[in-house]
A and B are shown apart, each in its own frame.
Chain A
Amino acid sequence: MHLILFIVFAGLCLAGAINLLLQTHPINSALSLVVVMTSLAVLYLLLGAEFLAIAQIIVYAGAIMVLFTFVVMLLNAGREERTLGSRAGKMIGFPAVVVFLGVIATVILKAQNLGSVALSDPITSTEDLSRVLFHELLLPFEVTSVLILIAILGAVALARAGSGERRVSK
């Protein structure tokens, strides 16, 4: 059961990711990303992180991807054009990614004493999570709220219409 669930949703993840790369219109890529986010939420659940799974759906798929979609709509981004490209990008970037993947894969595969996941594993409850979050990590928690506030201010300032043009008030 566990295996089927894993294969299905892992496959969905990968398919969505690859689709993101293959699509030319940004809105299609955005929708593929939503698929990735949701399947990841299921994977989190399989790993016993119930709060994170829900948070993933609410925050990522529900808010961030919506934001992306809104921006695509706002900017009326069309299909991608063929542009100059970058030779360095292709010649250096791809081998680097391959090396990257290779090294990490080797490490993961060669590592010993890694356990396994089963459906019967205990789930980390929200209570456990919050206990740690609000006791030990209370300060970082509060700081993140400040961070979000700053992000809001920044976003508003940057995206304000007429940044650079001043309205001449009469």
Chain B
Amino acid sequence: MNESLHLWLIPLLPFAGFLINGILGRRLPKSLVTTVALLAPLGSFGVVLNAAMASGAALPHIEAFRHSWINAGALHIDYSFVLDQLSLVMLLVVTGVGFLIHIYSAGYMAHDEGYARYFSYLNLFLFFMTVLVLAGNALLMFVGWEGVGLASYLLIGFWFQKPSAANAGMKAFVVNRIGDFGFLIGMFLLLGTFGTLSFNVIAAELAVKPAWTGGLLTAIALCLLIGATGKSAQLPLYVWLPDAMEGPTPVSALIHAATMVTAGVYMIARTHFLFDRSPFALLIVATVGAVTAIFAATIALVQTDIKRVLAYSTVSQLGYMFLGCGVAAYSAGIFHLMTHAFFKALLFLGAGSVIHGLGGEQDLRKMGGLRHHMPITFWTMTVAVFTIAGFPPLAAFFSKDAILYAAFLQGTSGKIFWFIGLVTALLTSFYMFRLWYLTFLGERRAGGLEDHGAPVHARSDTKLVLESEHPVHESPWSMLGPLVILAVLSIGGGWIGIERFASYLAPSAGPLSVEAGSASLEWTLAGLAVVAALLGWFIAHRMYSARPETPERLAASMSGSYKLLLHKYWIDELYGAVIVKPILATSRFVLEWIVDVAILGGAAWLLGGIATLGGAILQRWQSGNLRSYAAWLTAGAAVVLLYVLWAYSPASLSAFFNHGAGH
């Protein structure tokens, strides 16, 4: 712990990349931009690896900078980076997967005009994300929190000429803001209760008072939960994530699958000592997670845009992570975070490869039969689909099972959560295989030649030109390489096993509860999960491969619920009508009528009126008439004289005489 691990390099390198590419990028040759942009995450990853191998058991390693940040009375906050097991795991995921996605982006965005801008934003995101992960106090984490929100906004609206993209960026930022408000309130409560925002100090203070539960701590935990809900797209603040698919696909992979949306889970794990003290808050967390998981899974069943399916899948899987944290199995949640990063990034990058190969097509109904045209993409995506469905021995099997097992052990509510999780696993398997069948198997349905007038809705990810005449081709190796690496990670990522993982993380994320459970129970539950996955696969096979006319028939017969799911339960419209429209109308009214017309206009009119009136009055004074000037002069002199010689006036004569007689 004595030698410095140079933790400050981890955020600094991406920040330097951001500055160089942001300021000079337009004038540098593309190869130089790429080199700078790729060196940054590679460097950070290198430093993290070095830290991982050097520190070993010497964690937690704290590096604080000499100059403190805020020193106001009793409030002391400094820039302290904390490297413990939790942040190390997170950093490995962030920088490692981030680096792979950077490589992928170099291929995907190769023909885009805003190449340098894209990479500068990506590096900016990495900077803020690492700050968030490394932060040793809540305020520094909040800086990273806000910063990744900013980077997300910039990247979602990367193709800002498209109004849908710009609107999606704004929507993401605004909804995040609502969550951030909760985070802020939580921070204020923390500050008021503990007098500090440093995680270690708070944990230590709580440790010496083991009986302190509930009440204030519940309030703090719930406020932090609101923040996590916004950032990690849980109910009710999930609405921004599907729209965020307007951004480039690598952005969706990095930010909205692997790293940024997991910041909420990370934050809950970071502050687990608070949540541990409030069973009620934990129950809320688990409920939010479970309900979101199944809710999003139901929506994903019928979506036609490949990226939307994956977006709702992300929301659903994040629900799993929240569920894991909600049953105090934080390590299980983080485990799933890690495996999810691998397979979800792989899914998104694979989808990007498909989209790239098809020249911009994103509608599932127009894909099909791509397994022969894009073999490597096909095989890596297959690995990912099997992983997310939860088949052993792939990664998600271990992590999902850990969560469901921990949930089951948590009493009656836990068993309900377990069941919800099981049903969600079935749905997940179904819609992922549906995606698989529609995209890669069957016959080629991509007949874009007939519908030149097709609406843009399913093709939001591209340059605005229909490239349907482009023959379907496999992607370049810059894009396929990361796919392969992520596939390998998806296969072997879970083999570390939850016990070893949890015991490694225990010092920083709390121990995995060892309640009454047995190995046989665990295997039974795991077996049930696998059965659910197989069932989902079977149904998907029947509907999309064996009898392809089934979907239409089913949709026609259950048209009510089909429409409900297709329109995402009309939640967006609900929010729009209940929240957005009134606020917009009110603000428009206030700003236009009250502020603009009444206050500003009135103030201007008033000032003008005063000036004119005063001028009109004073104008008469400047008559040019010598005698009136003389009169005013005399009057002024008389006033001054009166003021100075007031002591001699008759009014104060008595005092004067008394004073004089006193001599």
Contact = CB atoms under 8 A, between A and B. Distances in A.
Q: Do chains A and B touch in the complex (CB under 8 A)?
A: yes
B514 interface: no
Contact of A86 (B627, B642, B656): B627
Contacts of A91: 631
Contacts of B631: 86, 88-93, 96
A149 to B, nearest CB: 29
Given A99-B642, A106-B650, A88 B634 contact: no
A82 interface: no
Nearest to B621: A88
B625 interface: yes
A90 B625 CA distance: 13
A103 B639 CA distance: 10
A89 B648 contact: no
A3 to B, nearest CB: 27
A87 B632 CA distance: 12
A104 interface: yes
B648 A110 contact: yes
Interface in B611-656: 623, 625, 627-628, 630-632, 634-635, 637-638, 641-642, 645, 648-650, 653, 656
B630 A100 contact: no
B627 to A, nearest CB: 4
B648 A106 contact: yes
B656 A110 contact: yes
B628 A100 contact: no
A96 B638 contact: yes
A107 B653 CA distance: 11
A85 interface: yes
Contacts of B656: 110
Given A85-B627, A86-B627, A110-B653, A100 B648 contact: no
Q: How large is the interface on B (under 10, 10 to 19, 20 to 34, 35 or more residues)?
A: 20 to 34
A127 B648 CA distance: 38
A96 B627 CA distance: 13
B645 A93 contact: no
B660 interface: yes
B89 to A, nearest CB: 89
Nearest to A88: B628
Given A100-B634, A106-B648, A86 B641 contact: no
Nearest to A110: B648
A1 B637 CA distance: 38
A110 B657 CA distance: 10
Nearest to A109: B648
A112 to B, nearest CB: 7
Contacts of A99: 638, 641-642
Contacts of A86: 623, 625, 627-628, 631
Contacts of A87: 628
Contacts of A107: 645, 648
A139 interface: no
Contacts of B630: 89, 93
Interface in B138-155: none
A81 to B, nearest CB: 14
A96 B650 contact: no
A88 B649 CA distance: 27
B642 A103 contact: yes
B645 A103 contact: yes
B503 to A, nearest CB: 98
Contacts of A75: none
A84 B638 CA distance: 26
B141 to A, nearest CB: 73
Contacts of B642: 99, 103
Contact of A100 (B641, B650, B660): B641
Contact of B632 (A92, A95, A103, A104): A92
Nearest to B660: A112
A96 B632 CA distance: 9
A83 to B, nearest CB: 9
Nearest to B641: A103
A104 B640 CA distance: 12
A161 interface: no
B281 to A, nearest CB: 79
A12 to B, nearest CB: 26
A21 B144 CA distance: 88
Contact of B625 (A89, A96, A110): A89
Most buried by B among A84, A85, A87, A88: A88
Contact of B641 (A90, A95, A104): A104
Contacts of A104: 641, 645
Interface string B422-444: 00000000000000000000000
A153 interface: no
A100 B637 contact: yes
Best-buried of A96, A99, A106 by chain B (most CB within 10 Å): A96
Contacts of B625: 84, 86, 88-89
A68 B637 CA distance: 28
Contacts of A85: 627
A168 to B, nearest CB: 35
Interface string B524-540: 00000000000000000
Given A103-B645, A106-B649, A106-B650, A89 B628 contact: yes
A96 B660 contact: no
A7 B645 CA distance: 29
Nearest to B620: A88
B635 A92 contact: yes
Interface of B: 623, 625, 627-628, 630-632, 634-635, 637-638, 641-642, 645, 648-650, 653, 656, 660
11 contacts: A86-B625, A88-B625, A89-B625, A92-B631, A93-B630, A97-B634, A99-B642, A100-B641, A103-B638, A103-B648, A112-B660
Given A106-B645, A106-B650, A110-B648, 19 more contacts: A88-B623, A88-B625, A88-B632, A89-B627, A89-B628, A89-B630, A89-B631, A92-B628, A93-B634, A93-B635, A95-B635, A96-B631, A96-B637, A97-B638, A99-B638, A99-B641, A103-B648, A106-B648, A110-B656
